Amino acid sequence: MKLSSALDLVSFTLPAGSAAERALARCHTVEDLRRLAARRLPRTVMDYIDGGADAELSLAGNTEAFARYRFTPAVLADVSAPDTATDFLGRTAAAPLGFAPTGFTRMINPDGEPAVARSAAAAGLPYVLSTMATTSLEDLAAQPAGDRWFQLYAWKDRARTLDLIRRAADAGYRVLELAVDTAVPGNRLRDVRSGFTIPPRLTASSLLDIGSKPGYWTKLLRAPDLEFANLSGGAADCGHGYTIENIGAQFNPALDWAGLAGLRAAWPGKLLLKGPVGPADAVRARDFGVDGVHLSNHGGRQLDRTVAPADLIAPVRQAVGEDFAVVVDSGIRHGADIAVALALGADLAMVGRPYLWALAAGGEAGVGHLADLLVSQFRRTMALLGVAGVAGLRRAGPQLLAGTPNPVPVLEGTP
């Protein structure tokens, strides 16, 4: 090659965009976003996002369960225009992906839940606000229109539970998710060891955190005070900030199926049970008038050694039939994981930790980047699997996965 030709291949153009935009542009995977978040967050906050219960066996098992599956693609199929859109509970989503509920989100970035909800709305994806959010139901409802859901924790104070249901309905939330895996708090050892509280409490270790990440603390101190915005005037503060223990003590450990019937009667919209719901309980929920289940082990943060939600999909689908909604989270880190979930029988996959990492890495733009990344990975996976749409992926699922436990029946007419 001539020197002049070689020089033509060399570009000296400076990268466009701000430093933050350039950092996000270098994030090609969820793990890239996690590494960028770790550079920007104090260790205590990063441990809150990353940690699980006890020995964190469920935490590790969640991602391992998705990674076990191998694809057996269909060939010679027209995938020139793969369509990721899907209908779910009466509304179309741009992809079978949603953002699961997380607590304390404004602690990750002061823009918090509204930034996540705006990103979800822009991407055409559902977003679930947590009872433990740092933005109120009403304030989030004032954000740009999107498919907003609400995750409810049942409280010992039944009046408070019913009030949250009423507020969610009045604010236009479309789906209610009742968490059924929080009768008592999980033993999250990373938080216990770090003395994690809301708001953060100044201790010797937190002062060291401040010194190591001054930019984070500067933004936090300039933002409005952190609070559980849906719980004003309720749960005991104890004078030391809210912890997993003193908030968890307000949850109702006596909630049973009779209690579920009362909540079903109080909520006018679609209702899902969220937790590690097995086949028998999924059938019972269906018979109680519940519209679906959100299979989750709280990201490995409640009962350790719980079965991975990925391994519940097929047996639950087999037990409840096709006309019952199945959502799954816990362990999804790539668009290929979404494809596995749908091939096993899920209607929708959700992520939690990944969007917190993205929020820490780049704020609202980071969450938008994550949505684009996961949807593009999913679209590419569909095309390489030889399916042109979400319905075809669901129908052909057992044929496209190797080593699938408890395969569900395959419907005819797979494209």
Cis bond before residue 199 (omega within 30° of 0): yes
DSSP letter string, 48-106:
HHH--STT-HHHHHHHHHHHT-EE----S---SS-B--EEETTEEESSSEEE---SSHH
**CA distances (Å), 61 to each of 36, 324, 326, 400, 404, in order?**
24, 26, 20, 22, 17
Question: Of 28, 240, 298, 334, which residue is the catalytic one?
Answer: 298
Q: Given CA atoms 314, 319, 324, 327 in this order, what sign does their dihedral have? A: negative
Known catalytic residue: 240?
Answer: no
**Taking the CA of residue 354 as centre, how many other CA atoms within 13 Å lie in the half-sphere pointing to its CB?**
28
Q: Which residues pair with 163 in a beta bridge?
A: none
Contact 82, 382 (CB under 8 A): yes
**Strand (E) or helix (H) holding 319:** helix 310-320
Rounded distance between C-alpha atoms, residue 170 and residue 188, angstroms? 34
Cβ-based neighbour number of residue 67 at 10 Å: 15
Which two tokens mark 322?
């096709």
**Strand (E) or helix (H) holding 402:** strand 401-402
Residue 171 class from Cβ within 10 Å (0-12 exposed, 13-18 middle, 19+ buried)? Answer: middle
Query: Catalytic residue positions?
Result: 298
